[in-house]
């Protein structure tokens, strides 16, 4: 998505070897007009699927997910994060390892909001090692719901998340695909072609 790539070039900050900071339009300060455009793009990319529900993880997944939800006119459920694993009968839960913070987080979703009739689109801000998405997929499986696809804003193609999802035959659509960081600059996948 050209608009997003331009914004990353303009406002993204590359830190070290593999961190891209986009806190001025995506995950601390949010640009709602850009978010709405991305929501419409997700709808275009997955329009042939009969999506009934959108799933994400708090906090930075919420903004992109609710705008995707607006375009599809379906409910959005966001998993809550916890420090400790508190299993409850009325919750689906999963453990998610954070490579950035080197801790296990636990995520959960009320059983009321996901069931076997649901056709689910997972939305998240970043795809790196794929841990958060894997956690949501395990919850979808536990609920017996149907995963229809994964929509990502920024994918770091050089980390293993995409490969893990491809191996499982999942349709993954990323609005910006980063091939590498070179000299503090972002190189997108299509620029390498």
Q: Select 63 or 122, whichever has its Cβ closest to a copy of itself.
A: 63
Residue 191 in the binding site for a copy of itself (CB under 8 A): no
Provide, rounded to whole angstroms, the least separation between the CB of residue 190 and a copy of itself: 28
Residue 30 in the binding site for a copy of itself (CB under 8 A): yes
Residue 22 and residue 11 in contact, taking contact as beta carbons nearer than 8 Å: yes
Span interacting with a copy of itself, options 30-38, 131-139, 153-161, 184-192, rule CB under 8 A? 30-38
Backbone angles phi, psi at 149, to 5 degrees: 170, 175
Span interacting with a copy of itself, options 108-116, 122-130, 166-174, 181-189, rule CB under 8 A? 108-116
Distance of CA 4 to the CA centre of its chain: 15
Report how far apart, in Å, the C-alpha atoms of 103 and of each of 34, 63, 84, 98, 141 are. 31, 24, 11, 5, 24
**Chosen residue from 6, 15, 29, 190 binding a copy of itself by CB under 8 A:** 29
Report how far apart, in Å, the C-alpha atoms of 63 and of each of 18, 34, 78 are. 24, 11, 10
Site string for a copy of itself, 45-84 (x = CB under 8 A): -------------xx--xx--xx-xx--xxxxxx-x----
**Chosen residue from 2, 102, 112, 193 binding a copy of itself by CB under 8 A:** 112
- As annotated, the binding site for 5-phospho-alpha-D-ribose 1-diphosphate includes 128-132
């Amino acid at each position: 998505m050209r608009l997003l790539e331009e914004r990353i070039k303009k406002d993204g900050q590359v830190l070290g070897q593999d961190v891209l900071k986009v806190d001025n339009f995506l995950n601390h300060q949010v640009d709602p007009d850009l978010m709405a455009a991305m929501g419409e793009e997700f709808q275009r990319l997955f329009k042939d699927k009969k999506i009934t529900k959108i799933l994400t993880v708090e906090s930075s997944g919420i903004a992109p997910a609710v705008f995707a939800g607006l375009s599809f006119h379906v409910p959005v459920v966001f998993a809550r994060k916890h420090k400790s694993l508190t299993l409850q009968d009325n919750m689906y839960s999963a453990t998610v390892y954070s490579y950035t913070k080197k801790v296990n987080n636990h995520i959960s979703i009320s059983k009321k909001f996901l069931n076997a009739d649901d056709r689910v689109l997972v939305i998240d801000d970043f795809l790196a090692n794929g841990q958060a998405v894997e956690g949501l997929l395990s919850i979808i499986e536990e609920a017996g719901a149907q995963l229809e696809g994964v929509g990502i804003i920024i994918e770091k193609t050089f980390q293993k998340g995409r490969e893990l999802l491809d191996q499982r035959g999942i349709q993954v659509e990323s609005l910006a695909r980063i091939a590498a960081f070179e000299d503090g600059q972002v190189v997108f996948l299509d620029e390498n072609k």
